Amino acid sequence: MSAAEAEESYSYLGPPGTFTWAALQQVERARGKRWRSVNNVGEALDDVVTGRSTAAMIAIENSVDGGVSATQDALASIPNLRIVGEYLVPVRFVLVALPGTRLEDVHVVAAHPVAYAQCHGWLERALPEHAHVPATSNVAAADDLTGEHVLADAAIAPPGITEGRDVVVLADDIGDNPHAVTRFVLVSRAARVPEPTGADKTSIIAELPTDEPGSLLEMLEQFATRGVNMSLIESRPIGDELGRYRFVIDLDGHVRDERVADALLGLKRYSPSVIFLGSYPRADRRSIEVTTRYSDTAFREAREWLESIVDGDAREP
Amino acid sequence: MSAAEAEESYSYLGPPGTFTWAALQQVERARGKRWRSVNNVGEALDDVVTGRSTAAMIAIENSVDGGVSATQDALASIPNLRIVGEYLVPVRFVLVALPGTRLEDVHVVAAHPVAYAQCHGWLERALPEHAHVPATSNVAAADDLTGEHVLADAAIAPPGITEGRDVVVLADDIGDNPHAVTRFVLVSRAARVPEPTGADKTSIIAELPTDEPGSLLEMLEQFATRGVNMSLIESRPIGDELGRYRFVIDLDGHVRDERVADALLGLKRYSPSVIFLGSYPRADRRSIEVTTRYSDTAFREAREWLESIVDGDAREP
Amino acid sequence: MSAAEAEESYSYLGPPGTFTWAALQQVERARGKRWRSVNNVGEALDDVVTGRSTAAMIAIENSVDGGVSATQDALASIPNLRIVGEYLVPVRFVLVALPGTRLEDVHVVAAHPVAYAQCHGWLERALPEHAHVPATSNVAAADDLTGEHVLADAAIAPPGITEGRDVVVLADDIGDNPHAVTRFVLVSRAARVPEPTGADKTSIIAELPTDEPGSLLEMLEQFATRGVNMSLIESRPIGDELGRYRFVIDLDGHVRDERVADALLGLKRYSPSVIFLGSYPRADRRSIEVTTRYSDTAFREAREWLESIVDGDAREP
Amino acid sequence: MSAAEAEESYSYLGPPGTFTWAALQQVERARGKRWRSVNNVGEALDDVVTGRSTAAMIAIENSVDGGVSATQDALASIPNLRIVGEYLVPVRFVLVALPGTRLEDVHVVAAHPVAYAQCHGWLERALPEHAHVPATSNVAAADDLTGEHVLADAAIAPPGITEGRDVVVLADDIGDNPHAVTRFVLVSRAARVPEPTGADKTSIIAELPTDEPGSLLEMLEQFATRGVNMSLIESRPIGDELGRYRFVIDLDGHVRDERVADALLGLKRYSPSVIFLGSYPRADRRSIEVTTRYSDTAFREAREWLESIVDGDAREP
């Protein structure tokens, strides 16, 4: 056991200072363990599949850009993975440069394309004449300010970037949307589903059986008729041809909640392919309210009633 | 046991010769047992409840007039009854009279109101000037031709009426609808539900929770989302005020069929009152065809998949 | 005009004193006009079709017994009729007899079968040994106490029966359900639909296209997706074979209400046969509340938006 | 007129050789007109809004990556735009380098991130040790092979790149998905919707009124109850907070088709915000098949029936 614990490690899109790194900071059980910085979602999940890492932290949705396609597609295609936790990180950006640089000296800005897009408004106003050099990550953008080939005069990066780097903040909070937040999930190998906490989320990916009118509707009815709310639904192309989709869906509730289990049974019978990604505590810890009709008690009482019927003990209370 | 068997008896709306009597003739296990002729549905069911009779044969639906209200309401209010069999009797009527009577002698016709209504067209054409004397049953109508007070010159009755009675048929097949048929059910005390035969029907009575728009729709979705067909739906006033209804529903399939059981669970959770009236072989012995999606196998496989998920053994084959 | 008015006449199930007569008393425009007492619904509607009467008052639903089959079937089969008004009559029964009769003298009770059924509880308690003589109407029951052939010692009849007849009340309010009420409709030939009053009802009869699972559901969705509430739904056998039904439906609202009109359009496209029976003021004068989404304004604004789209004037306010 | 025609111009994500350029090649009316090469979707649409261009060609969906977020969000936020045509371009990639370069000489690969992701499998196999330099477009990637600062040894680019450039193809068809295709739309200012061709598509963007369970379901029912198929549904965050979405939807059919118009009316009444993006011929020219129930004739006949009802001319044929 202690050997295993000693080996516990966590993969994340590095280097330290990225938003993913900030998300992993929130995971209590990851503290003091080994963290593996990787270059993309594929590497992170590969670490989990091969056992190099206990779990991987990956971005799954952004309040501005929507679902992270690479993550959704990886979760749809790599078997035996499970989401075990959810974490929110506010998206804040700063413009950094080498000490001594003034804003009016900035002509070329290094930025990851997503970060660049999210600061577009500020850049238009403050640096209307700038050129953009794309970077592979927010931290790599800062690295473009130093090293052998200096590519840019300034970089867009997360606030933590100044730690351990010789850069200064030229402008703070330059993101266009002050409420922007990124949702991360911690992914491990499939294991027994954890107990419900009363504030859980369940993630699945499902395909439609046909593309007839109403087939999506019929799939969604599996949730609606059991009072199960969807907090997310995203379509993703299956990839073989235009017009064929799978759906990435987040449900309020836990697979051990009767209504969620019943909805998944209905979904499984309907869809040619359902992938269960996990039931896990919500990042916001907000309890799910369920009307009496969809409570565990209602499900249990209905089952007891049905059993009494079939055995002929009773008909109606 | 032999004592109990000796005591086996069956109640029916008599006397011998009625359509109900014809229905009871179809019940193999009732042959050679004691038959109790009663005056109405209430008496017949009372015989069952008190144990005076093993079972009662009662009319529940007519292809011309629809559901028999008295039967439906009795089944909704008397607890611990079960439908155990279904029987169809063609509705044929003859006009009978004492020997020597000619059609042109007929001025007053005795008839049960329902029979009278079903021969209305023929009467209009053949006896446009006749008067009607209502009778309490089709057989009682024939009795009005004889006895102390002769009330009528002719009577509308079932074809079997001539057996053991000194009456002759003046006109055959006088019903307006040649395809008319009455559906009877055999009702006993609640007991273990019989095994499915593959050609079964399930009868229930359910109330709506509210009278909001869409509440009936939501109830029916419980069946539709499980591929369960309704062969009958009738609304009956609950009786406390106008606008409040319960629904008498026949479903294709047996409560031991997974899709029917699942639909009843959904219905039970939705409706404030569900009465299970029984699962029993269909009179027409027509097998119920079920698409793969709603087969017992589909339900079983979905359950196994869900169990494997929760235990973390697998995610997706 | 005055000639036409002079000829105005109203048919009803007579004689004076019946519940139908009580309903017709409520019709202001019928006062002082000629009233034709008829024997059944068929005669009443025939008077309207042939022009013998301006309108006919007929019972359509009873809070205890449900829909009146004969009325529903007549409205489904006779073309060019319209419901123009709705009236409620409380169902109260008294036991009457010739003066001098005491309750303990009563052995034979004359009663219309429906009235008899609705007083069943009281009869069981007060006259457990009585015999029943069926009568063709509530008033005819009272007539059985007098005349050439006296058939009964007492009769079940409406409270008004004592007017102009030499009978006395032996027992008052003997109905089993003190809240029982019968709903009557006034029927005339098809004409321009009257203006909405804000408290209207619309009656239709529709057939299902097939008997597949979900076909009733799909029909009801036509109402639910437009926020149109059903205050009544009754299935009636079409009559050609068991298992084929038409549905008698009352909707809250008027055909000139946008949401009702739109629902009828959807219904007409779906159903192989839709019969419009009329839009008319509700007996209870209760206003229909409609959420903003289903208001006439919402329909009108959506139409204006669509027109602006097609013409390219605007895209979005 | 000839002056206006002389000024006609078309914006596209350039330079010549990009997939967008290939899409614009398919537009007959753009031949011989002025083409404006721009840097991103925002610029292209801005050209249309300001009148600098007649129309802009922009990528909207990729069979591998799904919807193009930037395009969807721009169409959702910029008013008075209309999609007037749809074009498909197969996604094929080649690896190019300066003449004389051998595959084994390639260490650094320039590629737009999307192109890079779509050739990931081939790169893993053929160049397992390569480094990646991101480029702002597929054509810019090729430019990184020449000029002042040479950043890469090879570039991923579309097949047309070799025209007019001193580069050679090192490897052909290196995309991971041989069936990959990108869908482009031609966007102009809002104008009168073109006539239906029988093979049309309608694009809209709509918000949900609430996030209650079933609210998406209710929105989709607007299409399903009118037999309108969705060929695309994508959720996009509205951007103000996590969990709030708008939906980008493509419908089979034209806004002048009765069933589509009726569905849009229903949608408009339901949704707090509906953006109509246009009805335009499908790229694949495949005719939309419509069952009788949802045909223009069915809609017209239902309307005629309703009018006759209200006027009282008829009830039922």
Interface size between B and C, measured as CB pairs under 8 A: 115
Average pLDDT, chain C: 88
* Contact between residue C97 and residue C166 where contact means Cβ atoms under 8 Å apart: no
Q: Is the Cβ of A190 closer than 8 Å to some Cβ of chain B?
A: yes
**pLDDT interval class at D144 (50, 70, 90):** confident
pLDDT in tens, D230-280: 888 888 888 776 677 889 999 999 999 999 999 999 999 999 899 999 999
* D220/A221 touch (CB, cutoff 8 Å), yes or no: no
Residue of D298 and C67 predicted with greater confidence: D298
pLDDT in tens, B76-86: 999 999 999 99
Best mean pLDDT range from A85-99, B197-211, D176-190: A85-99
D3 has pLDDT over 70 = no
A147-161, A267-281, D30-44, D283-297: segment of lowest average pLDDT: A147-161
pLDDT reported for residue A1: 38
pLDDT reported for residue A297: 95
Q: Enumerate residues 6+ apart whose C-beta is below 8 A from A286.
A: A199
pLDDT reported for residue C3: 44
- How far is the C-alpha of B254 from the C-alpha of B273, rounded, in Å? 20
Q: Tell me, yes or no, whether chains B and D touch by having 3 or more C-beta pairs under 8 A.
A: no
A197 has pLDDT over 90 = yes
Mean pLDDT of C55-60: 95
* Contact between residue A31 and residue A8 where contact means Cβ atoms under 8 Å apart: no
D85 has pLDDT over 80 = yes
Q: Is the Cβ of C79 closer than 8 Å to some Cβ of chain D?
A: yes
Q: In chain A, what are the domains?
A: 1-90+180-191 (3.40.190.10), 94-171 (3.40.190.10), 192-317 (3.30.70.260)
Chain D: touching chains (3 or more CB pairs < 8 Å)? A, C
Q: Is the Cβ of A228 closer than 8 Å to some Cβ of chain D?
A: yes
Q: Is the Cβ of D229 closer than 8 Å to some Cβ of chain A?
A: yes
Strand locations in chain B, DSSP E? 9-13, 34-38, 55-62, 66-67, 81-90, 94-97, 108-111, 131-134, 154-157, 168-171, 181-189, 200-207, 230-237, 245-252, 274-281
pLDDT along chain B (317 residues), means of 10: 63 88 95 92 93 95 77 90 95 94 94 85 91 82 83 90 89 90 94 92 91 80 90 82 83 96 95 95 92 93 93 54
Mean pLDDT of D193-200: 94
* C136/B135 touch (CB, cutoff 8 Å), yes or no: no
Chain C: touching chains (3 or more CB pairs < 8 Å)? B, D
- How far is the C-alpha of A32 from the C-alpha of A35, rounded, in Å? 9
pLDDT reported for residue A73: 86
pLDDT reported for residue B5: 47
Q: Is the Cβ of A190 closer than 8 Å to some Cβ of chain D?
A: no
Average pLDDT, chain A: 88
Nearest 5°: phi and psi at A315? -120, -45
Among A70, A212, A237, beta carbon nearest to D63 = A237
pLDDT reported for residue C316: 42
- How far is the C-alpha of D297 from the C-alpha of D292, rounded, in Å? 8
* B134/C135 touch (CB, cutoff 8 Å), yes or no: yes
Among A64, A67, A217, beta carbon nearest to D217 = A217
DSSP string covering B19-61, please?
HHHHHHHT-GGGTTSEEEEESSHHHHHHHHHHTS-SEEEEEEE
Which of A187, A269, A275, A295 should be substituted to probe chain B, the one whose Cβ sees the most B Cβ atoms within 10 Å? A269
**pLDDT interval class at A242 (50, 70, 90):** low
* C192/D264 touch (CB, cutoff 8 Å), yes or no: no
Among A61, A231, A237, beta carbon nearest to D64 = A237
Contact residues, chain B, for A256 at CB < 8 Å: 310
**pLDDT interval class at A84 (50, 70, 90):** very high
Give the chain A residue whose CA is nearest to the CA of D239. Answer: A64
A3 has pLDDT over 50 = no
- How far is the C-alpha of A42 from the C-alpha of A272, rounded, in Å? 26
pLDDT reported for residue D242: 67
Q: Tell me, yes or no, whether chains D and C touch by having 3 or more C-beta pairs under 8 A.
A: yes
pLDDT reported for residue C314: 47
* Contact between residue C306 and residue C218 where contact means Cβ atoms under 8 Å apart: no
Chain A: touching chains (3 or more CB pairs < 8 Å)? B, D
pLDDT in tens, A99-136: 999 999 999 999 987 788 889 889 989 999 898 887 87
Core vs surface per residue D58-84: b (16+ CB within 10 A) or e: bbbbbbbbbbbbbbbbbbbebeebbbb
pLDDT reported for residue B18: 86
pLDDT reported for residue C313: 57
pLDDT reported for residue D313: 57
C183 has pLDDT over 80 = yes
Q: Is the Cβ of C266 closer than 8 Å to some Cβ of chain B?
A: no
Closest approach of D214 to chain A, Cα-based (Å): 5
* A314/B266 touch (CB, cutoff 8 Å), yes or no: no
Contact residues, chain A, for B81 at CB < 8 Å: 315
D315 has pLDDT over 50 = no
C6 has pLDDT over 70 = no
**pTM given for the model:** 0.85
* D225/C266 touch (CB, cutoff 8 Å), yes or no: yes
Among C66, C88, C242, beta carbon nearest to B183 = C242
* Contact between residue D226 and residue D267 where contact means Cβ atoms under 8 Å apart: no
Look at residue D224 and give its three-state secondary structure. Answer: helix
pLDDT reported for residue A314: 47
pLDDT in tens, B85-126: 999 999 899 999 999 999 999 999 999 877 888 898 899 899
pLDDT reported for residue B313: 57
pLDDT reported for residue C2: 42
Q: Is the Cβ of C254 closer than 8 Å to some Cβ of chain D?
A: no
Kindly give the residue spans of alpha helices, DSSP state H, lying in chain C: 2-7, 19-25, 41-50, 69-77, 113-118, 120-126, 138-143, 215-224, 258-270, 296-311
Q: Is the Cβ of C306 closer than 8 Å to some Cβ of chain D?
A: yes
pLDDT reported for residue D148: 74
**pLDDT interval class at C211 (50, 70, 90):** low
A313 has pLDDT over 60 = no
Closest approach of B269 to chain C, Cα-based (Å): 19
**pLDDT interval class at D212 (50, 70, 90):** low
* D306/C261 touch (CB, cutoff 8 Å), yes or no: yes
Tell me how crowded residue A242 is: count the other CB atoms within 10 A of its CB.
21
pLDDT reported for residue C70: 80
pLDDT reported for residue B281: 96
Mean pLDDT of A251-264: 96
